Chains A and B, each alone.
Chain A
């Protein structure tokens, strides 16, 4: 049954066009996976109700002593309603998960974030609220962006609470203990409903830097660790690009502007954008101490969602990495189809190093390594670093099957591939108590085990990924894959 439906999806999505060797290979992979009873759609299925805290079962290895705390993860968890469904993966209701590790045991719980959007959609029995790729339906009440705020991309711990982040509206405050929703965080009354991206950059000094983007303007947020606003300033951007993430060194904010630009008003965000590769990409570098001091670099066109933390070398060269692809087709098409069970092979997303030289030259150096969801050792943020953690290993389905740590010094990729039965989520680094060296600690990474139909949590030694997980716990059910998380030590 699954196999037939997969192939139906494939024929609708792909086979209408001319068959190529890549498509034939993808079709073969799909057939193989379906025959093996592996249905990737499990990882993108709706969760209908909150999941109370439930023990996970340890199925291999042992938790390292010293690993204790909570991994909070956020991402869309419900897409379909009887009267009409979300039109994009990015428009599902925010679902906060907590994996809690203590005394070698792990538990899992999940709770939907109680947003005005979720309340309106629930009351209507349909997804009526406009989104990234979902048009408004009758009954929508959107007085400001926060009425459309799905709070569904990421989570950061701030001042003892959790902030669930979207990117076009305010943070949503969530209780770290029971994952209940406290409400919208207004950083200052006159700045209500301003956009706040899902990927803030912490300063070594403790402050959190972030952007909020509206067309060719951005607000630069600086927030204390206690959640109090330190400053908010407006800056002009060279292009009205889609900005999901940015980077920062100790001294600079590094804002990549890709040529997917907003050039018209339209019902959905994605439809207001146009891919204009002829414009190329730009990188705006802002001095944190004086935002009027800026520099703009030019690069050829590419598309990316995510970047790694930047650093500055002795000669002033700024380096950072990103996960680059050729165009925004995931944002425009794939993100729409996969929640309806339709997927076709995507262009490669490649780990790529940027170098911004003091003489104004900008260079990108692709590694050839498939990569998404880059993370780094947060203790290094803004300072020189050697490693990037990322999801890797693609084929046969959306998302990724493996984990890697890329060593920029040697060019070596230390990787582990779970194979087609697992769709992995972003891995998060947890420092070993008492350790200080980069990546002295563990990587913790959930996956959806398609064969067992269950969410798992894996622990790796961060510098020995290829050895495989040193501990794995399995939940009694599969949750939809999440996007981004944060670990809070016990």
Chain B
């Protein structure tokens, strides 16, 4: 019998890809980002997020900036949230007043303008989504380690492919 040796079970296993429900975003923190870039305005750093590759016009890109693994997983408040209307294939969102440190971004293209990441009845996203470092999970979000990056004093930038 050629059954392969059994790899480690992952929380978002791919069995899910084929049949079981999956929830990529464990809370609605991202979905609540309905206002223009809202920054804490207490630090000395700024971050420009550039989203490339938007195929579908219209709607808005909504981004959530997490300053901790818990925030990235939606278990703690985001450091900042932003939203920008989509026209063309590239948009930017700028956060300023950030404390230098390690951050990660979750973003989605809100095609239908309802302010929420669309999920089909089995919990799979129906709208494009992306993460900082262009990190990808396999049928689930990537880890904090894969998506996190340094924000230093002054100007910082991240380019993210979405769609």
Contact = CB atoms under 8 A, between A and B. Distances in A.
Q: Do A and B assemble together? A: yes
A214 B21 contact: yes
A395 to B, nearest CB: 22
A34 to B, nearest CB: 21
A163 interface: no
Contacts of A234: 121
Given A141-B136, A333-B3, A266 B15 contact: yes
Nearest to A132: B18
B27 interface: no
A168 B17 contact: yes
A265 interface: yes
Contact of A148 (B13, B17, B118): B17
B7 A267 contact: yes
Interface string A354-398: 000000000000000000000000000000000000000000000
A340 B126 contact: no
Interface string B114-134: 000010111011100100000
Query: Which of B15, B125, B138 counts the most chain A CB atoms within 10 A?
Result: B15
Interface string B1-43: 1111011011111111111110000000000000000000000
Contacts of B20: 214-215, 262, 265, 272
Interface stretch (A36-44, A64-72, A187-195): A187-195
Contacts of A193: 120, 124, 126
B112 interface: yes
A269 interface: yes
A413 interface: no
Q: Interface size class for chain B?
A: 20 to 34
B61 to A, nearest CB: 16
- The main secondary structure of chain B at its interface with chain A is loop
A340 B19 contact: no
A143 B7 contact: no
B54 interface: no
A213 interface: yes
B118 A266 contact: no
A336 interface: yes
Interface string A159-173: 000000000100000
Contacts of B45: none
Contact of A266 (B9, B129, B136): B9
A29 interface: no
Contact of A214 (B4, B122, B138, B139): B122
A192 B13 CA distance: 20
B121 A264 contact: no
Contacts of A332: 3
Given A87-B4, A267-B7, A272 B120 contact: no
Interface string A389-429: 00000000000000000000000000000000000000000
Nearest to B111: A189
Interface in A114-151: 130-132, 135-136, 140-145, 147-148
Given A144-B125, A189-B112, A194-B120, A214 B14 contact: no
A145 B18 contact: yes
A147 B14 CA distance: 12
Query: Which of B16, B19, B138, B139 counts the most chain A CB atoms within 10 A?
Result: B19
B120 to A, nearest CB: 5
Contact of B15 (A144, A219, A272): A272
A272 to B, nearest CB: 3
Query: Which of B7, B17, B126, B138 counts the most chain A CB atoms within 10 A?
Result: B17
A271 B1 contact: no
B13 A265 contact: yes
A194 B122 contact: yes
B112 A194 contact: no
A272 B1 contact: no
Nearest to A338: B2
Interface in A4-45: 13
Given A234-B121, A340-B2, A268 B14 contact: yes
A271 B6 contact: yes
A265 B9 contact: yes
Given A130-B138, A217-B121, 8 more contacts: A131-B18, A140-B138, A142-B14, A142-B139, A194-B120, A194-B124, A219-B121, A272-B13
16 contacts: A143-B125, A144-B124, A144-B139, A189-B112, A191-B120, A213-B19, A214-B21, A215-B19, A262-B15, A262-B19, A265-B20, A267-B9, A267-B15, A272-B15, A333-B1, A336-B3
Interface of B: 1-4, 6-7, 9-21, 111-112, 118, 120-122, 124-126, 129, 136, 138-139
The 9 A-B pairs of least Cβ separation, nearest first, read A272-B15, A265-B13, A192-B126, A269-B18, A168-B18, A130-B14, A214-B122, A266-B15, A193-B124
